[in-house]
Amino acid sequence: MEYTIKGNDIHVFEPDLDLDETLDCGQAFRWKKAESEYFSEYTGSFLNDSLRISQLDKENFIFHNTSEEDFLRKWSDYFDFATDYSALKTAFSQDETLAAACKFAGGIRLLRQDSWECLISFIISQNNNIPRIKGIIDRLCEHYGGKFPTPLQLAAETPDSLSYLRSGFRSKYICDAAGRVASGETDLNAIAEMPIEDARKQLKMILGVGPKVAECVLLFGMHRVEAFPIDVWIKRVLAQYYPEGFPEFAKDNAGIAQQYLFHYIRNLSE
DNA sequence: CGCCAGGACGCCC
DNA sequence: GGGCGTCATGGC
């Protein structure tokens, strides 16, 4: 990644980033595609900072109204710019299916998101589809002035008071998660540093968090890139292309490989 | 009408 | 330990 400062904007050169593939691929649910003169443009936020970001062409981007300090401290980390995705894709590509997936959606990066927001978002994601997940999270944030609620705020709610979300049976799971995090019974920062089996065990103590959601929180909210969420789409990939098991060489970064495969298989059938 | 969606729970055996 | 019905909601 290289960047230059132009007025209030940061211009970024990064060959391994595509906004559509990264911000609208089911790892994050709060980025909104904007009408613009550019190739692609999104608005969204991370923690308490909002951002408008434009993609000019395949490898040039504008981070609008962003100071160099905020860019380096916050957004560079969020977009995982310190990781060399070209090297990852080269390594993955010794496998035929992964090579095709990396070629198909080479602009995917793994966002370093907030663990709390990920926990609630992926609880909402269960047995649900992406447009409706986004709608529920929209209504949730709208209710708190456009910001994602804190654990304390959500811990004050009940399944009844959350009926405006229309999240169905998931509302009681949201309340349980909020209560545990707000009380400190579940310490997400501590879980993020645990050996992964302990972390899985801790996350699954939360009502509504099973193997898939726990894996998504580890991967997307704690950047544990060895985590490997298996949903209906990845099940199809494993059955169709990896009947003998997922290749050993990719297991340290299985979660990143999973992102390429998820995007690949989903768009293959469209 | 039924089927499915980035699943998990409760109950059964 | 695995198998199966059920759980809200909404789009197709």
Going by pLDDT thresholds of 50, 70 and 90, the confidence category of residue A269 is low
Nucleotide closest to residue A169 (CA–C1'): C8
Q: How far is the CA of A89 from the C1' of C3 (A)?
A: 39
pLDDT tens digits, A33-74: 999 999 999 999 999 899 999 999 999 999 999 999 999 999
pLDDT of residue A209 exceeding 80, the answer is yes
Quote the pLDDT of residue A268: 79
pLDDT of residue A270 exceeding 70, the answer is no
Q: How far is the CA of A110 from the C1' of C11 (A)?
A: 29
Q: How far is the CA of A124 from the C1' of C5 (A)?
A: 21
**Average pLDDT score over residue span A144-170:** 98
Nucleic strand B under 7 Å from the C-beta of A13? no
Q: CB of A61 within 8 A of CB of A53? A: yes
pLDDT of residue A254 exceeding 70, the answer is yes
Task: State how far the Cα of A231 lies from the Cα of A129, in Å rounded to an integer.
Answer: 12
Q: How far is the CA of A125 from the C1' of C3 (A)?
A: 24
Quote the pLDDT of residue A217: 98
Nucleic strand B under 7 Å from the C-beta of A221? no
Question: How would you class A109 by CB atoms within 10 Å of its CB: exposed for 0-12, middle for 13-18, buried for 19 or more?
Answer: buried
Quote the pLDDT of residue A266: 86
CA-nearest of A217, A247, A250, A216 to A233 is: A216
Q: How far is the CA of A122 from the C1' of C10 (A)?
A: 18
Nucleotide closest to residue A204 (CA–C1'): B8
Task: State how far the Cα of A149 lies from the Cα of A62, in Å rounded to an integer.
Answer: 28
Q: How far is the CA of A26 from the C1' of B5 (A)?
A: 13
Going by pLDDT thresholds of 50, 70 and 90, the confidence category of residue A233 is confident
Nucleotides of C under 7 A from a protein CB: 7-11
Nucleic strand B under 7 Å from the C-beta of A126? yes
pLDDT of residue A228 exceeding 70, the answer is yes
β-strand partners of A231: none
pLDDT tens digits, A100-150: 999 999 999 999 999 999 999 999 999 999 999 999 999 999 999 999 999
Domains of chain A in start order, with CATH, are 2-82 (3.30.310.260), 115-183+195-209 (1.10.340.30)
Nucleic strand C under 7 Å from the C-beta of A168? yes
